[in-house]
């Protein structure tokens, strides 16, 4: 009985891990290519949620982003012990969510060795100019 439940849990976790991996392979390059080249070089991030034109749309989109971010963080934690891209999924989940200090965290991460190089490589593959490095 316990073996059957464990097999079911591992099967679901592996399936979700595979879906997360494929989604990450498709989603990350798509998002990185659509960001403006000066995305990390602004002193402060513009707050799109305060749009007066359609506040209900901004609220709904923000809620969907946060729920998806929490789901990806949870999947990332699961994938740390099962097959899959746990750290990458966890990072994407964190970057989707809205929380104080997120922009500073993004800029700090981009300054880590190899991260900006990898992001610029993804942008180059999509025909986009490289990111401007963050100015502190």
- pLDDT for 49 equals 58
* Nearest C-alpha neighbor of 122 from the set 110, 113, 131: 131
- pLDDT for 76 equals 77
Taking all residues of the chain, what is their mean pLDDT, rounded to a whole number?
80
- pLDDT for 12 equals 84
- pLDDT for 119 equals 83
* Nearest C-alpha neighbor of 122 from the set 30, 40, 17: 30
Question: Looking at the predicted structure, is the pLDDT value of residue 129 above 90?
Answer: yes
Distance between CA atoms of residues 2 and 8, nearest Å: 10
Distance between CA atoms of residues 64 and 51, nearest Å: 17
- Name every residue whose Cβ is closer than 8 Å to that of residue 126 and which is 6 or more positions away in sequence: 29, 32, 33
Joined together, the tokens standing for residue 27 give 């989603």
State percent of the chain over pLDDT 70.
88
**0.95 surpassed by pTM:** no
Tell me, what DSSP letter sits at residue 48? G
E-state strands within the chain: none
Joined together, the tokens standing for residue 17 give 């891990």
Residue 100: band (very low, low, confident or very high) from pLDDT cuts 50, 70, 90: confident
Higher pLDDT, 82 or 118: 118
In contact, 111 and 14? CB cutoff 8 Å: no
């Amino acid at each position: 009985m316990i073996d059957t439940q464990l097999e079911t849990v591992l099967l679901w976790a592996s399936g979700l891990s595979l879906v997360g991996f494929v989604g990450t392979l498709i989603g990350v390059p798509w998002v990185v290519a659509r960001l403006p080249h000066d995305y990390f070089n602004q002193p402060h991030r513009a707050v799109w949620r305060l749009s007066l034109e359609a506040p209900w749309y901004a609220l709904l989109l923000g809620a969907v982003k946060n729920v998806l971010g929490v789901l990806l963080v949870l999947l990332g934690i699961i994938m740390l012990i099962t097959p899959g891209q746990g750290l990458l999924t966890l990072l994407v989940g964190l970057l989707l969510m809205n929380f104080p200090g997120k922009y500073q965290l993004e800029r700090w991460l981009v300054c880590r060795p190899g991260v900006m190089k990898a992001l610029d490589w993804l942008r180059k593959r999509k025909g986009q100019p490289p990111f401007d490095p963050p100015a502190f």
